[in-house]
Amino acid sequence: MASFKRLETEFPILDSDFQSFCALRGIFTVQDFLIHDLQSLVADAEQQPSSERFMQAINQVLYVIDGLHRPWLNGVDLMEDAQKNKHALSTGCEGMDFLLRGGLQRGQVTELAGPSSSGKTQFCLLTASTVAYKHKGGVIYIDTGNSFSAKRIACFLNQISGPASEEMQPRILQDVMNSILCHSVFDIFSMFDVLHCLGSKLKNQMCRGDNDERLIIIDSISSLITPILGSSGSQGRALMVSAMSLLKKLAHEYNLAVLVMNHTVGGDGGIPKPALGESWKTLPHVRLLLSRDCGSDTYHVSLLKHPSVASGKAAKFIIND
């Protein structure tokens, strides 16, 4: 979301004095404003010499936030939107698609958790290849560990596209590669920057009627969130919730499927469970737990949470090397 400095040109009440007042409290953008305790901010503003102007500025920010909200939709509107825009995207794995009733649902955030070397990145690359090729859609791939592999994308594409002439194969590969935009991100604030820029881009594309983006992949989101949870306490959790809120907003408003990777930790009896704690587990729309047979290409996935499918169901699939 926009910084107060950028908003000042349109709303002069958000002047340098108000920006300095907010900066002392770690508030530089509308996003920061949303995370901060509003009652505490108002109480501080009332103690300032320019309290009246600061209160006007706070009300102006609230007005800006209110303007960002979409109008209320009734049940008929929501049903029409779901039928028209919220379709499933195939992942390229028949077992996974069957479990998810067609694949990754547009408008929803899907979490895939699994231990190290369980195949999470391979699944991400296969899904990116499938969406770019079969659905002719753009993929935003946020890579947090330098794990993106263009060579692996090419291998998956050969499997997906089937036999093709020597003349057509390079063209197909080029089209798919052009459809996948990879961003290397190593902290949560850089991820916010990427997502905010993406939001602006999608808004402009929607105005022109040429929005081709279909999928956001974050491999992995836990590597960005874990560091801030350990050291920042409640602020870390607030950033985590804010990140998920932004992903949900992008998914809903622009009809995107969002796929995020998470690692696992030891649960009761040593059974692996998704990381990031109790505050996280209610946030994704869909939660999946992945495992892999040792020395095998067979993967097992169990459904932990889904809006329209009973939890506890499981499937297996193979990703060929």
| 92 and 205 within one domain | yes
For 77, other C-beta atoms within 10 Å of its C-beta total: 11
**Mean pLDDT on 184-209:** 88
Cα-only R_g, the chain: 22
- Confirm whether 75 is domain-assigned: no
Quick: pLDDT tens for 201-222: 888 887 776 767 899 999 989 9
Lowest mean pLDDT among 128-132, 220-224, 268-272: 268-272
| 92 and 57 within one domain | no
3-state secondary structure 203-271: HHHHHHCCCCEEEEEEECCHHHHHHHHHHHCHHHHHHHHHHHHHHHHHHHHCCCEEEEEECEEECHHHC
Q: Give the distance, in angstroms, between the CA of residue 149 and the centroid of all CA atoms in the same chain.
A: 20
| 20 and 122 within one domain | no
pLDDT given for residue 321 in this prediction: 64
- Confirm whether 293 is domain-assigned: yes
- Confirm whether 73 is domain-assigned: no
Parent domain of 125: 81-318
Confidence of residue 62 (pLDDT cuts 50, 70, 90): confident
Please tell me the total count of domains within the chain.
Answer: 2
Distance CA 237, CA 282 (A): 13
48: buried, middle or exposed (CB in 10 Å: 19+, 13-18, 0-12)? middle
- Confirm whether 72 is domain-assigned: no
Is the confidence at residue 182, as pLDDT, over 70? yes
Last residue of a domain, one of 12, 41, 66: 66
CATH number for 85:
3.40.50.300
* Full-model pTM: 0.75
What type of residue sits at position 310?
A
Token representation of residue 85: 């825009």
pLDDT given for residue 113 in this prediction: 96
- Confirm whether 76 is domain-assigned: no
Quick: pLDDT tens for 24-34: 998 998 888 88
**Mean pLDDT on 227-246:** 82
- Confirm whether 292 is domain-assigned: yes
Mean pLDDT of the chain: 87
Beta bridge partners of 303: 288
Last residue of a domain, one of 39, 66, 93: 66
pLDDT given for residue 132 in this prediction: 94
- Confirm whether 74 is domain-assigned: no
